[in-house]
Structure 1
Amino acid sequence: MTSSETAPGRGTAVVIGGGLAGTVAAWALRGFAERIVVVERDRYPAEPTFRAGVPQGRHAHLVLEAGHRALEEMMPGIKKELTEAGAMRVAVSGDLKWLSSAGWMAQYPAQLAFLSCTRPVLDKAVLDRARADPTIEFLEGADVVGLLGSARTVTGVKVRDRGPERGEVREIPAELVVDAAGRTTSVPDWLAELGHPPVPEERVDAGVAYSSRLFHRPAGVDIGYKAIYLQTKAPDAPHLGVLLPVEGDRWIVSVAGMRGAEPEPGEAGFTKQLARLRDPSIREALQQAEPAGEVRGFVPGPGIRRHYERSAPDGLVVVGDAASTFNPVYGQGVTVALFCARELRRTALRHGGIGHATARDARRAIAAVSKNPWVMSCTEDVRFAATTGGPSGALLAFQHRFLDKVLAGAAHDPAVTAAFHEVMSLVAPPTLLFRPSLLAAILRS
């Protein structure tokens, strides 16, 4: 089926990648495409478990408040299902002990919260919803190996089965192709093969590396909080740690370091990194806890923001990490992927289909909802001398000085803390902090 500006069409949509970003993108297109095909390289496990195609899934994850709102908007009742699967509600103040670079966050009665669970529980809840829709097909155990079309228009994908007998490459024509292949996406290379010029991009790399482990929560032990977050402090404390409650009466603990302060491999490296943290809270909490798994490492690579809103062929939309990859320490990635899916659905609703006008508007909307998280992430990353890329100049210096004031205020003024939490939870833009009553409190700090 061919699209046009006047008749958007309701043909086939292909989603590259069946992780969380791809699954919610497929869900977002239901009702607007006659057929939605999700091509996933793995085969999904029957029960929630970690899988090779999501290497970052073994580490501490959370969906920010704004992400939960987006997910609930698209999948009503999903928060209840996650809670029934063992996800725990953590209020950002009261339940969370948060050490910023300026000190412990002031406590207040917070309405903002997040649900804490392992990544497989979140992924399976979303996958089960999508699988129940008859217009969404999952092609498991298959690789997308190229795009169909030209430098001007993408018209489908080339796929091939994985495994020892890979078979022949076959084609799936499509009116819309959604790239949700994550950090390792090959779409930029395939666009080059079609003759499309390089997509403009920004890069920043703080060299962060993770080490994580699951622990059984010791019975009868109360550490005073449900979760602990120990942030870095540039330039002399480039280490961070997080402890989150997850299903099965367990904690997931992740420790990390920026370039030059990365955790060493294995159990010894994990223990050594714990000792490097600015505060002993997490280490003390684990004194009576038994490990529930092995130590796992992860190096996410650079943050990349690809500007497909500036340069992309018709018929292509890029979502999630394939569009914007963030430093994971700020917890933005899953939430931004959910924003992408919501914007995709809103634009399809506006145009009544999945045609080229929908794709163009979706690219612009996705760029808009990714901008603030990207600026927030990059602004902090460049505080560390070993970071490559990222912003610089007088504006950056002002941003750093202002944020330092905000964090100082948040250490003793609950009103500043609450506003900062709204911004960090992505429910309010950073301009909230310039509201006159808040600005006065911030400047006094």
Structure 2
Amino acid sequence: MSSVPPSTVAPSPVPRPRPRPRRAVVVGGGLTGTLAAAALAEHLDEVTVVERDNLPEGPSPRRSLAQARHAHILWSGGARAMENLLPGVLDDWVAAGAQRIPLPSALVSMTPQGWFRRGGTEMQFLIACTRDLLDFCIRRRVLALPEVRLLERTTVAGLLGSPGRVRGVRVHAPGGGVRELAADLVVDASGRGTRAVQWLSGIGIGPVREAEVDAGVLYASRLYQAPSGVADFPLVNVQPRANTGEPGRGSIIVPVEGGRWLVTLCGTRGAHPSQDPEAFERFAREVRDPVVGELIAQARPLGGEVTLSRSTYNRRRYLEKARSWPEGFVALGDAVATYNPVYGHGMSVAAQGVLALRDELRRNGPRASGLARRVQRAVAGPIDMAWQMAAGQDVLYPEATGPRPTLLERAGQRYIDRLTSTATARPYAARSLLEVMTLSAPAAGLFRPTLVLAALRGPRQEPLSAPPLTDGERAAVYGDRPGAPQAGGTRA
């Protein structure tokens, strides 16, 4: 029997299975959601943004973002985080008409302890424009990324998965019915109206501790055409003062694109501004200093409408302290904590939270064990600072609701008040305070020995008695009218 020689033909290689695409779902197509989509697009093959509205194609209002009509401040700590996530976006804003306002030289601000002096080292800044423009420049960049797709007029019905891992979401599609979107990572960026706690409860996670502080603040806003000759006018604000037994009143002028001023007034319970256009200027003159009322008297209102908002409470969900946490789910921005907008920290905190997500993805990848828990704990860092500033002050107003400050918290607040008073006349203290206010440095820096010593010594000069306007700013608005504020902080 003859033998058959072995074949000299090599066996065909067994095809390797293609790796499963890595997918993420972002709930919410606002500022936080689009920033998160940009961070995720670096590391995942597909990023689906689920948005309940139709997003505008230009810098126009969104139906579900009523607060966009009020003054928004993007501090340098948040702006730098956004630039880190989307290089070039700072230039986009300025090219579209936003102003980059250096601090403190272009800030006319009356703190609860008095007027800040202008001048000194300008390492911090803020971006001044409408919220519509701010969001549009980010949205345009992110939606152009090849990994990102947008599902509009779509809402989330719940999470897919178990207490150990979230594997996607169930959504209500525009045409009706429910469909499932599988995902390695779900990011909740749905804002103040989030249902994250209910979604988590639906897969067996909870309870989640929550806290709320509400001073009953009401906002009223109106657009004005700035007077001629006031290009590059500074931001002007008069901050409310808590812990006096009286309701708080405040006012702010934010220079925005198109040579306009966005003017927002606020008042706590017992001192609410009115929607009556005739009463708008009158209220602006009744705050601690009438400078905003005097300025808008020289400007032309654009339309008769005064926009009101009552969504100003501070609420925090301590997601980072939940007893258990599923893989594959992260909440960011207002879905974790919201603040009274007067402090201007919401957008900056959200951006820094997205940056924490991006950094964790870069270190360990989207499928790393424990990633979601680490991100949620990292997000709590900038939230802690903003919460202390906002809720810690608001709870001191008359009729405010919420947990009262502890003895230690009251002592800390007295120190910050003393430091703020010192900062009105000591450049070193002002620079350090601005670093923290703009979320550019941790709050621990306010307790450096040299700064504590400066606070103990107090301000070096007498407080200013009037807004620190320059000769040109005063003349452009007031002319030679008797009684107008003079440069250097006095009144004629």
How many residues are paired up?
434
Cα-to-partner distance string for 1:287-314 (whole Å, 9 max, x where unaligned): 1211224211111143122122222322
Aligned to 2:362, the other structure's residue is in SS state helix
Q: Which among 154, 159, 165 is matched to residue 166 of structure 2?
A: 154
Q: How does 1:291-440 map to 2 (within 5 A)?
A: 291-293=301-303, 294-311=305-322, 312-440=325-453
Q: Residue 238 of structure 2 aligns with which residue?
A: 230
Cα-to-partner distance string for 1:24-51 (whole Å, 9 max, x where unaligned): 0111111211110001111121221111
Q: Which moved more, 1:300-309 or 1:268-277?
A: 268-277
Cα-to-partner distance string for 1:383-413 (whole Å, 9 max, x where unaligned): 2132211442211221222122112112221
Alignment pair present for 1:72 and 2:83:
yes
**Runs of 4+ residues over 4 Å off in structure 1:** none
Structure 1 residue 432: deviation in Å? Answer: 1.9
Higher relative contact order (CA 8 A, sep 6+): 1
Q: Which among 209, 216, 227 is matched to residue 207 of structure 1?
A: 216
1: distance between equivalents of 2:225 and 2:210? Answer: 42
Contact 1:32 1:354 in 2 (8 A): no
1: distance between equivalents of 2:434 and 2:218? Answer: 25
Q: Residue 197 of structure 2 aligns with which residue?
A: 188
Q: Which moved more, 1:136-145 or 1:270-279?
A: 270-279
Aligned to 1:144, the other structure's residue is in SS state strand
Q: Residue 286 of structure 1 aligns with which residue?
A: 296
CA 74–315 in structure 1, closer or farther in 2 if over 3 Å, else same: same
Contact 2:247 2:269 in 1 (8 A): no
Letter in 2 for 1:47: G
1: distance between equivalents of 2:317 and 2:326? Answer: 14
Asked which structure has the greater CA Rg, the reply is: 2
- Per the normalisation by structure 2, the TM-score is 0.84
Q: Residue 133 of structure 1 aligns with which residue?
A: 145
Alignment pair present for 1:246 and 2:256:
yes
Contact 1:379 1:390 in 2 (8 A): no
Letter in 2 for 1:405: R
Q: How does 1:16-31 map to 2 (within 5 A)?
A: 16-31=27-42
Query: What runs of 5+ residues in structure 1 fail to find an aligned partner?
Result: 1-7
Aligned-pair Cα RMSD in Å: 1.9
Contact 1:90 1:113 in 2 (8 A): yes
2: distance between equivalents of 1:420 and 1:34? Answer: 42
2: distance between equivalents of 1:334 and 1:404? Answer: 25
Aligned to 1:203, the other structure's residue is in SS state strand
Aligned to 1:339, the other structure's residue is in SS state helix
- Per the normalisation by structure 1, the TM-score is 0.93
Contact 2:285 2:294 in 1 (8 A): no
Query: What runs of 5+ residues in structure 2 fail to find an aligned partner?
Result: 1-18, 459-492
Structure 1 residue 275: deviation in Å? Answer: 2.8
Aligned to 1:288, the other structure's residue is in SS state coil
Q: Residue 3 of structure 1 aligns with which residue?
A: none
Q: Which among 108, 111, 116 is matched to residue 105 of structure 1?
A: 116
2: distance between equivalents of 1:168 and 1:268? Answer: 49
